[in-house]
Structure 1
Amino acid sequence: MSDNQKDRKVYVVGHKNPDTDSICSAIAYAELKKQITGKNYVAKRAGEVSEETRYVLDYFHVEEPALLQNVFQQLKDVDIRKIDGVSSQASIKEAWAMMRENSIRTLPVLNEQKLEGIITIGDIANSYMELYDSYLLSDARTQYRSIMNTLDGKIVTGNEHAYFVKGKVVIAASSPDMMENFIDEDDLVIVGNRYESQLCAIEMDASCLVICQGAEVSKTIRKLASERDVVIISTPHDTFTTARLINQSIPVKYFMTKEHLSTFHMNDYLEEVRDVMSKKRYRDFPVIDKKGRFTGFISRRRLLKPRRKQVVLVDHNEKTQAVDGIEEAEILEIIDHHRIGNLETMGPVYFRNQPLGCTATIIYQMYQENQITPSRETAGLLCAAIISDTLLFQSPTCTPMDEATARTLAQIAGINIDEFAKEMFKAGSNLANKSVSEICFQDFKEFHVNELTFGVGQINSMSSEELQEIREKVCPELPDVLKESGLDMVFFMLTNIVDQSTELLCCGGSARQTVIDAFELPEDTDQIVLNGVVSRKKQLIPTLVSELQQ
């Protein structure tokens, strides 16, 4: 297994508006998979945790999973081309050599990994097209050291770290008498081995002499140059070659593009990146990380085969309940105990679905199958999930396997199952500081039947007084919740664990009539109380779906 494969994250995540089973099963399964495979499985959540779940996490001192907002493909899922940049003081020649060595057409200009600009082959071509400008070297404030390196030369006299900042570049190919007519103060003069020409240039206050063909420089010329702060560079090239090469010493900052750069960030979504690219004619686009550092270049070609985010889904298998962008992700596994939904996968996946009361029961079976004993904390989370989903074994979805598993896990976790359940349900129904929207959507699932879409929320409590308070708070604002959800109908279950009953609040379209017909209630029913109905999954949803399908 390569390091990249081992370090690549696999997200283990439950459904939106997660309940205790969704969160706890994700944490426990991620831990199991890490132990079995050694890979980087990470538990995530697809929504805010409920008060009940927060109580469980706090009780066992387990950190809340980070929020996974979506699994849309991002630039960080693409193979970005890593390229070492150049300093803004690097010469055009250095930039060109790096481009040829790496077979690239665009180079980043960096200052401590921060992007200052980009230089392209087109920019370098433009530098050659401007050879007629003899002031180009000084306008670009070219360092003498850069000129020396570009000409494969050496410094004979003067400060190589100084800059050529004033004057033009001239070739002294004529007699000293004629040279006096075109050499000005501070010029850079390209000369040969003639003593008279070198002396004339110094006397005309040139700032730099470039001596061609490696000619010897006399002691007198060196002494005069030193006295007048004239830089002398000796190059092995002839005059023609020197004249051709010298403009390549110009620093890249003079020709680089530094304004209106089209850059992307690692977290940008590919759909948005493609849209921007379609409107630009650039070949390569710089990518910046969250600290503003240059990461590499991205091109259109590299967007063709992005890596899909890898996910394991627990406690659901319906697209409407999955994290946004699931169609762009690679689903590796699904562990669930609900009905088979409408989720499609790119290829075959490991799908484990058992008719049990809780996903956590299945996950504990997988611990046993791999001969791994969960830690006290993990056992406590799994136990809490079973208590929650089965309403402490009172739900019709509960099986003997669920109850036996929960009692075994309670022993590992060292908790009194009845006392723990009482405190957990009490925390879950304590909604004093919650808005109506938060109450309704904290444990909320959406369903599709024919052309209709409806949602069902649920609150469980062992106190009829608490449920009455919630009813008085939610009922008047349910129409606003319906509007916010954008659904055709909304149902809200107020489930009394002790009485084994549910009061059902309805809103939207034919919601109320659908319930009356589905459960064969009298037409003049005021409060809809469904005795014996405590399970959304096994009792309410199948009955509503059957009625709507008819």
Structure 2
Amino acid sequence: MPGRSSKSIGVENSLSKPIYVIGHRNPDTDSICSAIAYAHLKTALGEHTVPARAGKINAETKYVLDVFGVQPPELILDLYPRAKDVMHENTIAIHPWNTLRKLGQLIKEHNLKSIPVVESDKSLVGIVTVSDLAERYVNELGMQDLRETGVDYAGILQCLGGTLVCGGELSKRIEGHVKIAASRTQTMAKVIQPDDIVLVGDRTSAQLACIEIGVACLIVTGDFAVAPEVVRAARTAGTYIIKAPQDTYTCGRLINQSIPVRKIMKTNVTSFKPDDMVSDIKNSIIRTGYRNYPVVQAGKLVGLIDRDRLIVPERDQIILVDHNERSQAVDGIEEAKIVEIVDHHRLGGLETSEPIFIRHEPVGSTATIVANMHWHRNVAIPQKLAGLLLAAIISDTVLFKSPTATAKDHDTANKLAQIAGLSIQDFGMAMLKAGSVIDKLTPADIVATDLKEFQIGEYYVAISQISVMDPESVLQQQSQIEAALQAICIKEQYNMAILLVTGILDEATYLMFYGQPSGLIATAFGPGRSDGSWFLPGVMSRKKQVVPPLIDAVRRL
């Protein structure tokens, strides 16, 4: 019958999980481009890696990606284990119109405790368990009144493995009782009623008598042939005839298994979505106590969670680029397995469960390290990738005006510019100009630009940095910016939030802050301006020229 296959439903297996190469939260151009480039290197070396990002792409990075026609990396906002990380994707399911016999076969074949029930389009409609099936057999007493069970002729045919000799629509529901024609022909009328289903052997007279009574269906057991006169009589009366290969007793038992699954399934199903966090799932499982739980996406079955798999979910494998501090990493980093770190910042105290590969150099950009790792391993850098790496070096060194820039950065940038076919000065100015446009940024956007968290002594400090052609365009919003700094301190529970407004052309930085201790900034950088901000001539680097004085100031305080 169309649309009513008895085959179990399977969900395709997915590929093995990749290793994610990811930069810090509030990513900058170096963080994004280095993740893309390092994933390229690892893939070329035979590893399954995917570049990722931990936040929104800023204007400068968007410009760079657009110039080279490269898509942004995959967005990962956290690494907390989710339902999709612990579910079985190759899930056995059954249709609600399949029979209890089919259900029993699946349970035995696959050693299952429960099976989701789905429609043809994989929409979840229920779940059925071994205990549901056992309860049905315990409650089974003799031959069944099939009127309330929803059994149709297709179900009986399927269970018996029989042949339809004559009859109409197989989807027609059965309305009578199941009887056995074991008595004499003249006394059958007292036992058998119209619309019954009658099991009968190789007895032509009994078969004809049943048709005359008006039974709905004759099931001829033992695989006996049906006489032509019986077939003619049945067609005239509209009686179904099914020839079954089993004996009468076995046929009686199998008919009781022709009841559709929908009659015993539970429709109030505890299910989860693929992105539900494992921590929340555990609470629900403790509360409900089932063995298996369906995972659904837009109402469709996509997997099944075995309660036992929640004990040790497989952890995501992560390569960190352009950072190594927990406070700057994507949320849930403690739930992942860090396998490598490639960075150019101070060591920030991340712990790993086992020794890992670390490439850590005092250069101006992570991209400098990644480019040289390509060359060291004899992996060619394509033209577009060379452009991305060059952009990252220019961004992090502010076109080599930052004191973090080294001879290695200069040398690497020159090689990359040659591969990319670019002028460092022209491309660099165009890129920095694109990133310095703040017309569409709110004060909240400005203070979130390239924000990094630091633990300085006992204080938790957020330091944002935005590079602009005209710092005055930001300074004019000082009161709104200070309010945004206050808001971020309250929301994230920082002791202090600092914004660095760096002028690309005049090579100086303006500092605004909110938080405690109130004397920290003055201790680090001397007296401020009358408007409550600080002018720091020659300061371009947060890493070398802002964080170290703050650390020294905390010690003095």
* Structure 2 CA distance for partners of 1:148 and 1:382, relative to 1, 3 Å: closer
* Alpha-carbon offset, residue 236 of structure 1: 4.5
Which residue number in structure 2 is paired with residue 287 of structure 1?
Answer: 295
Paired amino acid for 1:298: I
Paired amino acid for 1:45: R
Whether the 8 Å contact between 2:153 and 2:174 is mirrored in structure 1 is no
Which residue number in structure 2 is paired with residue 155 of structure 1?
Answer: 164
Q: 2:348 aligns with which of 341, 364, 367?
A: 341
* Structure 2 CA distance for partners of 1:130 and 1:210, relative to 1, 3 Å: farther
Matches within 5 A, 1:135-174: 136-159=145-168, 161-174=170-183
Paired amino acid for 1:128: Y
- Separation (CA, whole Å) in 2 of partners of 1:537 and 1:549: 18
* Structure 2 CA distance for partners of 1:542 and 1:203, relative to 1, 3 Å: same
Whether the 8 Å contact between 2:87 and 2:303 is mirrored in structure 1 is no
Whether the 8 Å contact between 1:143 and 1:160 is mirrored in structure 2 is no
* Alpha-carbon offset, residue 59 of structure 1: 2.2
Q: 2:336 aligns with which of 329, 332, 337?
A: 329
* Structure 2 CA distance for partners of 1:302 and 1:420, relative to 1, 3 Å: same
- Separation (CA, whole Å) in 2 of partners of 1:372 and 1:396: 30
CA deviation map 1:450-480 (0-9, x unaligned)? 4321111112234354454454752465433
* Structure 2 CA distance for partners of 1:268 and 1:468, relative to 1, 3 Å: closer
Paired amino acid for 2:551: V
SS at match of 1:394: coil
Paired amino acid for 2:69: H
* Alpha-carbon offset, residue 21 of structure 1: 1.0
Which residue number in structure 1 is paired with residue 106 of structure 2?
Answer: 98
* Structure 2 CA distance for partners of 1:136 and 1:352, relative to 1, 3 Å: farther
Whether the 8 Å contact between 1:79 and 1:306 is mirrored in structure 2 is no
Q: Return 492-501 or 45-54, whichever deviates more.
A: 492-501
Residues 1:541 and 2:547 aligned together = yes
* Alpha-carbon offset, residue 194 of structure 1: 4.3
Residues 1:207 and 2:216 aligned together = yes
Whether the 8 Å contact between 2:78 and 2:333 is mirrored in structure 1 is yes
- Separation (CA, whole Å) in 2 of partners of 1:112 and 1:22: 42
- Separation (CA, whole Å) in 2 of partners of 1:82 and 1:174: 51
- Separation (CA, whole Å) in 1 of partners of 2:309 and 2:142: 40
Whether the 8 Å contact between 1:49 and 1:442 is mirrored in structure 2 is no
CA deviation map 1:362-399 (0-9, x unaligned)? 11110110123322221121112111211222212111
Paired amino acid for 1:545: I
Paired amino acid for 1:528: W
Which residue number in structure 2 is paired with residue 86 of structure 1?
Answer: 94
- Separation (CA, whole Å) in 1 of partners of 2:101 and 2:434: 70
Whether the 8 Å contact between 2:198 and 2:215 is mirrored in structure 1 is yes
* Alpha-carbon offset, residue 294 of structure 1: 2.6
* Alpha-carbon offset, residue 240 of structure 1: 3.3
* Alpha-carbon offset, residue 485 of structure 1: 3.8
Sequence identity of aligned pairs in percent? 38
Which residue number in structure 2 is paired with residue 386 of structure 1?
Answer: 393
Whether the 8 Å contact between 2:497 and 2:513 is mirrored in structure 1 is yes
Whether the 8 Å contact between 1:135 and 1:167 is mirrored in structure 2 is no
- Separation (CA, whole Å) in 1 of partners of 2:520 and 2:94: 70
Which residue number in structure 1 is paired with residue 381 of structure 2?
Answer: 374
Whether the 8 Å contact between 1:6 and 1:40 is mirrored in structure 2 is no
Paired amino acid for 2:336: A
Paired amino acid for 2:448: F
CA deviation map 1:2-53 (0-9, x unaligned)? xx9985322111101111111111111111221222x332211111122222
Q: 2:184 aligns with which of 166, 175, 178?
A: 175
* Alpha-carbon offset, residue 418 of structure 1: 1.8
Q: 2:537 aligns with which of 521, 531, 534?
A: 531
* Structure 2 CA distance for partners of 1:130 and 1:533, relative to 1, 3 Å: same
* Alpha-carbon offset, residue 321 of structure 1: 0.6
Matches within 5 A, 1:435-514: 435-469=442-476, 471=478, 474-475=481-482, 477-511=484-518, 513-514=519-520
Whether the 8 Å contact between 2:509 and 2:537 is mirrored in structure 1 is yes
Which residue number in structure 2 is paired with residue 275 of structure 1?
Answer: 283
Q: Return 82-91 or 275-284, whichever deviates more.
A: 82-91
Whether the 8 Å contact between 1:18 and 1:46 is mirrored in structure 2 is yes
Which residue number in structure 1 is paired with residue 73 of structure 2?
Answer: 65
* Alpha-carbon offset, residue 148 of structure 1: 3.5
* Alpha-carbon offset, residue 310 of structure 1: 1.6
Residues 1:16 and 2:22 aligned together = no
Superposed CA RMSD? 2.6
Whether the 8 Å contact between 1:155 and 1:232 is mirrored in structure 2 is yes
* Structure 2 CA distance for partners of 1:332 and 1:215, relative to 1, 3 Å: same
Q: How many aligned positions are there?
A: 543
Which residue number in structure 1 is paired with residue 5 of structure 2?
Answer: none
- Separation (CA, whole Å) in 2 of partners of 1:388 and 1:207: 83
Whether the 8 Å contact between 1:15 and 1:316 is mirrored in structure 2 is yes
Unaligned runs of 5+ in 2: 1-12
Q: Return 273-282 or 16-25, whichever deviates more.
A: 273-282
Q: Return 233-242 or 368-377, whichever deviates more.
A: 233-242
* Alpha-carbon offset, residue 142 of structure 1: 2.1
Which residue number in structure 2 is paired with residue 128 of structure 1?
Answer: 137
Whether the 8 Å contact between 2:528 and 2:534 is mirrored in structure 1 is no
Paired amino acid for 2:68: F
- Separation (CA, whole Å) in 2 of partners of 1:270 and 1:435: 36
Whether the 8 Å contact between 1:516 and 1:523 is mirrored in structure 2 is no
Paired amino acid for 1:102: H
* Structure 2 CA distance for partners of 1:142 and 1:530, relative to 1, 3 Å: same
Whether the 8 Å contact between 1:189 and 1:208 is mirrored in structure 2 is yes
* Structure 2 CA distance for partners of 1:505 and 1:55, relative to 1, 3 Å: same
CA deviation map 1:383-420 (0-9, x unaligned)? 12111211222212111111222222222222222222
CA deviation map 1:305-329 (0-9, x unaligned)? 3221121111000111111111111
SS at match of 1:54: helix
SS at match of 2:546: helix
Which residue number in structure 2 is paired with residue 515 of structure 1?
Answer: 521
Which residue number in structure 2 is paired with residue 297 of structure 1?
Answer: 304
* Structure 2 CA distance for partners of 1:58 and 1:214, relative to 1, 3 Å: closer
Which residue number in structure 2 is paired with residue 432 of structure 1?
Answer: 439
Q: 1:312 aligns with which of 314, 319, 322?
A: 319
Whether the 8 Å contact between 2:471 and 2:502 is mirrored in structure 1 is no
CA deviation map 1:273-293 (0-9, x unaligned)? 2222111132222223x4644
Whether the 8 Å contact between 1:379 and 1:412 is mirrored in structure 2 is yes
Which residue number in structure 1 is paired with residue 244 of structure 2?
Answer: 235
* Structure 2 CA distance for partners of 1:178 and 1:432, relative to 1, 3 Å: same
SS at match of 2:20: strand
Q: Normalized against structure 1, the TM-score is what?
A: 0.91
Runs of 4+ in 1 over 6 A off after TM superposition: 522-525
CA deviation map 1:334-380 (0-9, x unaligned)? 10000000212222211111111111111111011012332222112
- Separation (CA, whole Å) in 1 of partners of 2:366 and 2:484: 33
* Structure 2 CA distance for partners of 1:473 and 1:285, relative to 1, 3 Å: closer
- Separation (CA, whole Å) in 1 of partners of 2:224 and 2:209: 17
SS at match of 1:163: coil
Q: 2:364 aligns with which of 353, 357, 372?
A: 357
Q: Return 351-360 or 466-475, whichever deviates more.
A: 466-475
